[in-house]
Structure 1
Amino acid sequence: MKQNIKITMLGTTGAGKTCYILGLYSTMQLGLEGFSLSCQDMDDDLRLTEQWEQLVFAEEGEDRWPSATGNEPHNYAFDFSYGLKPMMGFEWLDYRGGAMSDLSTESDVNTLRTHLVESSCVFLCISGELLKQKLTESQLNIIARRAGVTRMISYLAELAKAKQPTNENPYPVVITITKYDQCFQRNKDEILEDIKNIFRIFFQPNSGWLTMICPVSLGKELAENKNTGQIEPKNMHLPLVFAIYFGYSNELRQQENRAKRKKDDLEILRGGNFLERWMNTEQIKSLENSLNNNQEQIEELKKRMRFLRQQLTNANLYLSGTEMQLDV
């Protein structure tokens, strides 16, 4: 049982989108607590591996960092596995940060918009460089604009129209604080409050957004010197685990709805008189087998979700602004 989802990360030029996918892939290539990540296209694997090795093993200096993404977006297809057994596939769009603020006539802007509306989860990228100190109300507005939040909201309004999130059927968003090494010395609760104030739209009652705030970093030493600091990725996998969890959550909801419809149909067929039941014997048997198959898939999905949830026990999660824990 393997589903496929799409994930989009929104962020401006220099916010760390490309470095995030490099850090995520390198962290999970060899496996992390049994979970691993592999490219479905071997050329993509080579492309990402070469960029990562340049970052880690190249001569110290600016050349270690990947160049900005070109005008043509690139779509990566990955398999997320446990014990090398694929659990879910996902597509990831790498695009130039400037596309987010360009006119809709640009081809890569339309590619981004289409990928976003089809996505099962969205990551919003804000650099820790912007969060080095506690922000006043006026500074919040300035930082929000520098991070491209106003433009993100325009894209998210289009997404909300398509998905129509509710508290009963929420839409998952991860606010990834990239380059967390730049602000980790601050009190974490203060940073969380700043993030909530910058992204107020997600923390309103009954808004239907299920939001995870997750700091990620390529290494603490980069705060001192990004061109010589040691690369040691932290928390890179957590946003992906969250996205995969909710990919399963959507599938679970669909399977439970199918099972309910089949139970209702069975109840009607079994409720007939003896002759009607006899005439519907084959249909009843087929429905019973199909329902059993549904139940097996439901139990497998719950098992996988419980497994993933263990990685998210310390995550900062909010449903329409109210802090919560995952419960499946």
Structure 2
Amino acid sequence: MNGGRDIPKLTVTMLGTGGSGKTSFLMGMYGAMANGVDGYFVHTPVRADHIDLLGAWRKLLDSGSYPLPNDMKGLKFYEFVLDLGFSGTIMEVDWLDYRGGALSDRNQAADTAALEERLAQSDSIYIVLDGAKLGAWMSAKMDGDADRPAALQEDLGTGTINGYIMRAVHARRQLGRPLPSLVVLITKEDLLVAATRLSRAGALQAVEAQLRTLLRVAFAPDTRALVNPTTLDAVGGQDGMDRSFKAPFIFTFTEYLRSAIAAEHQFLEAATAQRQRNADEIRLLETRLRGLFRPGRKGELSAEQRQIVAKAELHKANLEAMRTQAATLEAELAGLRIYDSGEPRGAW
């Protein structure tokens, strides 16, 4: 599966307020994906994390007890590996769960600085929004009794999250790094749908209309974002687990490949230009300036040409492998709610 290429290690950071469902999503994702979803498997080399996550998952399956909202302040790191059966590892993930309470605590200066540095390193940012709060607000709005959107924005933490992400984007541009992809997780989908009294499709369309105001960063120019509803009620239904737990991973990796393919293109373009410059200089030395150039210059240029060609061939091979892999993964994303610069990518 890896075709001799290095296994990519992606950096993912998850943001959301306390009680938004970050812990439930992480637990459900690991529990479902550890058992395999459509041939994809997730595991962690950290034994303590494996035990803790699966223990919480088993508790949910046995008793229906959801984890209590975790409002601890600070950073929680996980290491995950995504495999496609026995075919090989697709990616490794360095995952950070930024505890919800810290988003609104201005006194945690050290955590804030660490988070901003982390976001500048992140290939993908997962934004977790509480679907129950969204549903309750939308229900009140339909009844003509809703608070202003600014109040909901405060409840969901989207104002703070918008600011964090825009600072991260600025930092990545300064470093010459590709922009992060965004995954907007709407948790508690079942509660959202029940509160709005709409069909699932109608509720999600109404939510996305609100998100354009609440979370503008996800619909900004040059932004690629997946809006993905999740619910632990998806457990036991293959389609639901594909959508709730597999889709975010596949989207994140596909967007990573998109950026990597662009970088390979840039390298090959630069290599082609350098090779042409060297060829022109060699031709000049051989014709118009015969005998006037310093000894060995032609040999240096020829050796450089061989190195450029060899590197270019490796990058071409990488490019073709990534294109093939990306095409396969893109097919799995069909029908998901993906936005490019605020415009839906294809029909839902």
TM-score interval, normalised by the smaller of the two chains: 0.7 to 0.9
1:299 has 2:299 as partner: no
Structure 1 stretches of 4+ moved >6 Å: 276-279
Counterpart residue number, 1:114: 117
Counterpart residue number, 1:89: 92
8 A Cα contact 1:70 1:95, kept in partner: no
Secondary structure at the aligned position of 2:18 is classed as coil
The percent identity for this pair of structures is 19
Match of 1:172 among 165, 171, 181: 181
Counterpart Cα distance in 1 of 2:69 and 2:156: 19
8 A Cα contact 1:11 1:125, kept in partner: yes
Counterpart Cα distance in 2 of 1:105 and 1:216: 30
Match of 1:7 among 7, 12, 15: 12
8 A Cα contact 1:270 1:277, kept in partner: no
Counterpart Cα distance in 1 of 2:327 and 2:184: 23
Counterpart Cα distance in 2 of 1:203 and 1:60: 36
Compute the RMSD of aligned alpha carbons.
Answer: 2.7
Secondary structure at the aligned position of 2:183 is classed as strand
* 1:209 maps to amino acid: T
Name which one, 1 or 2, has greater alpha-carbon Rg: 2
Deviation at 1:95, TM superposition (A): 3.5
* 2:132 maps to amino acid: E
Q: TM-score, normalised by structure 1?
A: 0.84
Counterpart Cα distance in 2 of 1:2 and 1:73: 25
1:22 has 2:27 as partner: yes
Cα offsets for 1:177-220 (capped at 9, x unmatched): 0111112352132222122232234435xx32222211111106
Counterpart residue number, 1:149: 158
* 1:16 maps to amino acid: G
1:74 has 2:88 as partner: no
* 1:127 maps to amino acid: D
Counterpart residue number, 1:193: 209
Q: TM-score, normalised by structure 2?
A: 0.79
8 A Cα contact 2:18 2:69, kept in partner: no
Counterpart Cα distance in 2 of 1:39 and 1:21: 12
| Residues 312/104 of structure 1: CA separation in 2 closer, same or farther (3 Å cut) | farther
1:290 has 2:304 as partner: no
Deviation at 1:269, TM superposition (A): 2.8
8 A Cα contact 1:269 1:277, kept in partner: no
Cα offsets for 1:70-90 (capped at 9, x unmatched): 445221011122234112111
Deviation at 1:146, TM superposition (A): 1.0
Question: Would you tell me which structure has more helix in proportion to its own residues?
Answer: 2
The correspondence of residues 1-328 of structure 1 with structure 2, limited to 5 A, is 1-57=6-62, 59-61=63-65, 64-66=66-68, 68=70, 70-84=72-86, 85-132=88-135, 133=138, 135=141, 138-164=147-173, 170-184=179-193, 186=198, 187=202, 188-204=204-220, 207-219=221-233, 233=241, 234-271=243-280, 272-273=282-283, 275=286, 280-325=301-346
